[in-house]
Amino acid sequence: MLTNNDILKKIRVALSLRTEDMIHILSLVDFKITKGALGDLFRHEDHPSYVEAGDQVLRNFLNGLVIYMRGKQEEQKKDK
């Protein structure tokens, strides 16, 4: 079974994203993360600095990725 960390790694490789790109993607949804904290998510599970990515990190990354790839969606105007 894939962990959230595995999913983030696979997306990173598939889209050729750099660390700075991933930080930018997360900032699009107002989720702040440091370069070091992001690096801890990509470490091997046996490493002492390894951090498990929670659902909130993955959810925010995916939401930010939508904005990064498509652009912000403008609110639809309602006819009066």
Q: Rounded to an integer, what distance in angstroms lies between the CA atom of residue 28 and that of residue 23?
A: 9
Q: Where are the domains of the chain?
A: 4-67
Q: What is the pTM of this model?
A: 0.85
Assess contact for 33 and 26: CB atoms under 8 A.
Answer: yes
Between 75 and 1, the more confident residue is: 1
Q: What is the DSSP letter of 49?
A: T
Residues of the chain above pLDDT 70, percent:
92
pLDDT digits (tens, 9 = 90+) for 22-50: 999 999 999 999 999 999 999 999 999 99
Q: Indicate whether 8 pLDDT > 60.
A: yes
